[in-house]
Amino acid sequence: MGIAYEDFLDESYEPAADDLVCEFHIQPGQGLTMGEAAARVASESSNGTWAALSPESDVRSYSAHAFDVAEDGSVRVAYPAALFEAGSMPQILSCIAGNIMGMKAVDTIRLADCEWPEALTKGFPGPQYGSAVLTEILEAEDRPALATVPKPKVGLSTEEHAQIGYDAWVGGVDLLKDDENLTDQNFNPFEERVTQSLEMRDRAESETGEKKDYLVNVTAETDEMVRRAEYVADHGGRFVMVDVVTAGWAAVQTVRRRTEDLDVAIHAHRAMHAAFDRLPQHGVSMRVLAQVSRLCGVDHLHTGTAGFGKLENEDTVGINEWLRSDLHGLRDVVPVTSGGLHPGIVDSVLDATGDRVIVQAGGGIHGHPDGTEAGARALRAAVEAYGEGVSLETKAETSPALAVALEKWGRDSPR
Ligand SMILES: O=C(COP(=O)(O)O)[C@H](O)[C@H](O)COP(=O)(O)O
Ligand SMILES: [Mg+2]
């Protein structure tokens, strides 16, 4: 049975329970109707090509179906589960976000959303802890967990990094976090940073009586990432951080498989995501990136600051809701809100995101006029004010550090 472009368009198609259904937003290429462009997308992302084919065997059971074609540019494409290799995120993305991103049949195309069937999700581990980290590893049962990343993000010595961690932990944050581009550089070698920072963690825990921990950036070549995750676990760390986009999904899957036995949670930084999710008309949405991250098994994921802060965001609230939704029994993911946050805008952000998040601030702590510990106290006070239902200004009457932060940064987002 032959297959040609027109065979991939079926307006009346009813997706099967096991189909992966993807929503694309497309701008048809010159001279093509929406239907013609949609058929080409379904063809190229499953098992067709530009030339009509007449294979000996019937391969139609592996073909996608474009349906729900709307004149506003949205189209849904249903992919049979048999098209995919169970448990391989690279192979799935090579289908649904591969060649079609460059097809001339569309001027622009964006993969906006996916509906994942159990036939596919069962091939992935999902998060090991999810939101349980807030209670099983940390003690943030009824408030956001707080994190900070030392700034300047790169260039501090190991001793300075560990000291900043101590000051922030004593000031009130729960988690120290390496920045996305701090890995194993000569001024702050990985192993020394881990051991010295964890020593400071233990000291801060005993002095504050609070659980503290460290999101260690293990991003590197895959075998080295596994070795670094083992090093963290061997030295008493409970978290690793992976730059999931620059490391790649196969690498994330490898690290996740190893952390299952290490009792270590994965914090996902999304550096480089904006290369393909920032433009609303082309690329792959942050919503899909969040879905891929959850399937591959991260426990925390940066999802933006709901329009506040220094970085562009896309639907932070909607994505966070999806991360908490039921996904065939897979655990949820803790959203991380970060990027230009400081105490003066924490209430606005939490009003949007709710408090089941990790609030991360770098400059908004270390840029405090009275230093890191005061900055941490100010952020903790701002989050406490949200939980107590009082204004920041009222809270600042009993928190000098918060008063100084409000004086310095006011209530506006930085640019
Ligand atoms: O280092 C920071 C924030 O530092 P600061 O608090 O000084 O702005 C993070 O890398 C960004 O939050 C990443 O962005 P996102 O969280 O949107 O992925
Ligand atoms: Mg950073």
pLDDT one-digit tens code per residue, 228-237: 999 999 999 9
Expressed in angstroms and rounded, the spacing between residue 361 Cα and the centre of ligand 1 is 7
269 is catalytic: yes
Pocket test for ligand 1, best of 146, 149, 182, 286 (most atoms within 8 A of CB): 149
Statement: residue 122 has pLDDT above 80? yes
Q: Largest alpha-carbon pair distance within the chain?
A: 79
Statement: residue 287 has pLDDT above 90? yes
Expressed in angstroms and rounded, the spacing between residue 386 Cα and the centre of ligand 2 is 25
Q: Decide which of 3 and 341 is more confident.
A: 341
Statement: residue 2 has pLDDT above 90? no
- pLDDT-derived band at 36 (thresholds 50, 70, 90) equals very high
Residues with CB under 6 A from ligand 1: 149, 151, 179-180, 270, 302, 304, 310-311, 338-341, 361-364
CA distance 89 to 160: 39
Cβ contact 209:182 at 8 Å: no
Cβ contact 190:158 at 8 Å: no
Stated as kind and residue range, the H or E segment containing 198 is: helix 190-208
Tell me the CATH number of domain 8-121, given options 3.40.1190.20, 3.50.40.10, 3.30.70.150, 3.40.50.1820.
Answer: 3.30.70.150
pLDDT attached to residue 1:
74
Stated as kind and residue range, the H or E segment containing 146 is: strand 145-148
Q: Per residue in 131-174, pLDDT tens?
A: 999 998 898 988 999 999 999 999 999 999 999 999 999 999 99
Quick check: helix, strand or coil at residue 300?
strand
Quick check: helix, strand or coil at residue 302?
strand
pLDDT attached to residue 378:
98
- Within the chain, all domains assigned CATH 3.30.70.150 are found at 8-121
Q: How many CB atoms lie within 10 A of CB 25?
A: 20
Helix locations, 303-362, DSSP H: 316-324, 346-353
- Within the chain, all domains assigned CATH 3.20.20.110 are found at 130-409
Report strand pairing: 283-284 vs 265-269: unpaired
Question: Which residue type, as a one-letter code, is found at position 343?
Answer: P
User: What token pair was written down for 410?
Assistant: 């006011």
338 known member of a binding site? yes
CA distance 400 to 206: 25
CA dihedral 292, 268, 253, 64 (to 10 degrees): 10
- pLDDT-derived band at 112 (thresholds 50, 70, 90) equals very high
Q: Residue 341 CA: which ligand 1 atom is closest?
A: 6
CA distance 314 to 307: 8
Q: Residue 270 CA: which ligand 1 atom is closest?
A: 18
Mean pLDDT calculated for residue range 10-29: 97
Residue 258 phi, psi (nearest 5): -75, -35
Cβ contact 279:312 at 8 Å: no
151 is catalytic: yes
User: What token pair was written down for 239?
Assistant: 């978290």
CA distance 61 to 126: 28
Burial of 29 (0-12, 13-18, 19+ CB in 10 A): middle
Mean pLDDT calculated for residue range 398-404: 98
CATH number of 130-409: 3.20.20.110
Q: Per residue in 156-167, pLDDT tens?
A: 999 999 999 999
Q: Per residue in 251-276, pLDDT tens?
A: 999 999 999 999 999 999 999 999 99
CA distance 24 to 83: 18
User: What token pair was written down for 340?
Assistant: 């230009």
Of 151, 273, 282, 366, the active-site residue reads 151
Burial of 121 (0-12, 13-18, 19+ CB in 10 A): middle
- pLDDT-derived band at 27 (thresholds 50, 70, 90) equals very high
Cα 170 off chain centre by: 28
pLDDT attached to residue 415:
82
Expressed in angstroms and rounded, the spacing between residue 180 Cα and the centre of ligand 2 is 5
Q: How far apart are the first and last CA of the chain?
A: 58
Burial of 199 (0-12, 13-18, 19+ CB in 10 A): middle
Stated as kind and residue range, the H or E segment containing 56 is: none
pLDDT attached to residue 356:
94
pTM of whole model > 0.90? Answer: yes
CA dihedral 157, 159, 160, 161 (to 10 degrees): 80
Q: Per residue in 82-106, pLDDT tens?
A: 999 999 999 999 999 999 999 999 9
Sign of the CA dihedral running 156, 160, 166, 171: negative
Percent of the chain whose pLDDT exceeds 70: 100
pLDDT attached to residue 312:
87
Q: How many CB atoms lie within 10 A of CB 202?
A: 13
Q: Per residue in 178-204, pLDDT tens?
A: 999 999 999 999 999 999 999 999 999
CA distance 245 to 268: 9
Report strand pairing: 106-115 vs 74-79: unpaired
pLDDT attached to residue 313:
87
Statement: residue 45 has pLDDT above 80? yes
Q: Atom 11 in ligand 1: which residue has the minimum CA distance?
A: 339
